[in-house]
């Protein structure tokens, strides 16, 4: 079912709200990662407000899709998306990284319902998603293909994370078992802590590498929500292979001062910077009037 322009517009508004919350929570926390969360805001809006089969009021619902965030350091974007989706009050977001908060610096499954798993140390999310997808796939094969809308597993990874050997063990394993019910997304923003990915540890060609491991690969503009949704729909139609969505994103997207700058990978904005960044996001870089800008 094609997604309408009006629906896309609504999702873009959600992405903007998520970006605002990210800036607010990072300023309040005084530490954390900025560029990655902002760059993934459009994709998280697409997942939490269109793609995922989930119930924010019943996070343990057995039939929900599973969204595994492997690169746990960008979790502010997940917290913001979850809050806006109704998992918990948006006001709780500013407790990020604070003592006693459910919103740990890196996500901990046992502390906040809906996180699916604990992550941060890189390279481990795809393996866990594989385990779930394998169990579901074999169950479905045993029970027949009667289920109307089978659950799916989504694994989000960073591009720098692809340096980890564990990733490739998991890529090989998913290819072996043809996990068609699993879709991975790589946030291809070209930066990691020490610099540009191609300087730190050249990754290209990621497409050729995944294809060589028996994956179906789709490349999208990670800020084009329609493209992202259509890629997920395409992935659902692919049998006999897991799908990788290579999402090209701009680190720091929405705040021109930091876009493309790897130095913003691992630091938060100051209160003053936060104010300026919020203005950028709310006014579309000054093009629009905004009552709170």
Partner 1 sequence: MINPDAKLVQNIFDEKNLQKPTRDGFGTGTVEAGTENPDVFVLCADLSESTRAEWFQKEFPERFIEMGIAEQNMAATAAGFALAGKVPFMASYAAFSPGRNYEQIRTTIALNKQHVVVCGMHAGVSVGPDGATHQMLEDIGLMRMLPGMVVIAPSDAEEARKAVVAAAKVTTPIYIRFGRSPTPLFTTVETPFEIGKALLLWDSENFSEDTSLGNQPHISILTTGSMAYQALAATRALDAEGIKSLVLSVPTIKPLDTKAILSAAKRTGKVITIEEHNVLGGFGSAVAEFLSETYPVQITRLGTQDVFGQSGTPEELLEHYGLSAARIADAVRKIVQ
Q: How many residues contact partner 1, by CB under 8 A? A: 30
166 binds partner 1 (CB under 8 A): yes
Q: How far is the CB of 127 from partner 1 (least distance, A)?
A: 3
Span of 15-23, 131-139, 227-235, 247-255 interacting with partner 1 by CB under 8 A: 131-139
Nearest to residue 69, comparing CAs of 14, 122, 16, 134? Answer: 122
State which of positions 89-118 bind partner 1 (CB under 8 A).
108-110, 116-118
Q: How far is the CB of 49 from partner 1 (least distance, A)?
A: 24
Q: How far is the CB of 170 from partner 1 (least distance, A)?
A: 5
Q: Which of 71, 128, 162, 189 is the binder for partner 1 (CB under 8 A)?
A: 128
In this complex, which beta carbon is closest to partner 1, that of residue 103 or of residue 231? 103
| Residue 268 Cα to chain centre, angstroms | 19
Query: In terms of DSSP H, where are the helices of 86-155?
Result: 125-143
Secondary element (H or E) of residue 163: none
- Whole-angstrom Cα distance, residue 112 to residue 210? 33
Q: How far is the CB of 135 from partner 1 (least distance, A)?
A: 4
121 binds partner 1 (CB under 8 A): yes
Whole-number Cα distances in Å, 63 to 60, 81, 136, 180, 252: 9, 20, 11, 17, 34
Whole-number Cα distances in Å, 159 to 177, 231, 273: 23, 18, 27
- Residue recorded with tokens 């989930």: 54
Nearest to residue 32, comparing CAs of 107, 105, 112? Answer: 105
What would the x/- binding string for partner 1 be over residues 10 to 39, using CB under 8 A?
Answer: ------------------------------
Q: Which of 132, 220, 228, 278 is the binder for partner 1 (CB under 8 A)?
A: 132
- Whole-angstrom Cα distance, residue 199 to residue 240? 35
| Residue 179 Cα to chain centre, angstroms | 20
- For the chain, report the end-to-end CA distance as a whole number of angstroms: 37
Q: How far is the CB of 213 from partner 1 (least distance, A)?
A: 13
Q: How far is the CB of 137 from partner 1 (least distance, A)?
A: 10
130 binds partner 1 (CB under 8 A): yes
- Residue recorded with tokens 């259509």: 230
Residues that bind partner 1 (CB under 8 A): 66, 108-110, 116-121, 123-125, 127-136, 138, 165-166, 169-170, 172-173
């Amino acid at each position: 079912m094609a997604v309408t322009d009006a629906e896309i517009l609504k999702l873009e508004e959600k992405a903007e709200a998520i970006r605002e919350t990210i800036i607010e929570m990072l300023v309040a926390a005084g530490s954390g990662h900025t560029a990655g969360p902002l760059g993934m805001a459009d994709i998280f809006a697409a997942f939490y407000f269109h793609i995922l089969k989930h119930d924010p009021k019943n996070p343990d619902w057995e039939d929900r899709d599973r969204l595994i965030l492997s690169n746990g350091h960008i979790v502010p974007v997940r917290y913001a998306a979850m809050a806006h989706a109704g998992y918990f009050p948006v006001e709780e977001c500013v407790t990020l990284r604070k003592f006693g908060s459910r919103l740990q610096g890196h996500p901990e499954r046992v502390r906040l319902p809906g996180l699916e798993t604990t992550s941060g140390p890189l390279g481990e999310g795809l393996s866990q998603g594989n385990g779930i997808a394998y169990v579901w796939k074999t169950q479905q094969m045993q029970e027949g293909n009667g289920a109307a809308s089978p659950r799916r597993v989504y694994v989000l990874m960073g591009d720098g994370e692809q340096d980890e050997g564990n990733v490739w063990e998991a890529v090989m394993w998913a290819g072996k078992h043809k996990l068609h019910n699993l879709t991975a997304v790589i946030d291809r923003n070209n930066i990691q802590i020490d610099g540009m990915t191609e300087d730190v540890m050249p990754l290209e060609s990621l497409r050729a590498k995944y294809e060589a491991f028996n994956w179906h690969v789709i490349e999208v503009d990670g800020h084009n929500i329609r493209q992202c949704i259509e890629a997920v729909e395409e992935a659902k139609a692919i049998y006999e292979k897991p799908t990788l969505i290579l999402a090209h994103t701009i680190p720091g997207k929405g705040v021109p001062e930091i876009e493309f700058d790897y130095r913003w990978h691992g630091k938060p904005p100051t209160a003053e910077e936060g104010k300026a960044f919020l203005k950028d996001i709310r006014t579309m870089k000054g093009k629009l009037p905004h009552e709170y800008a």
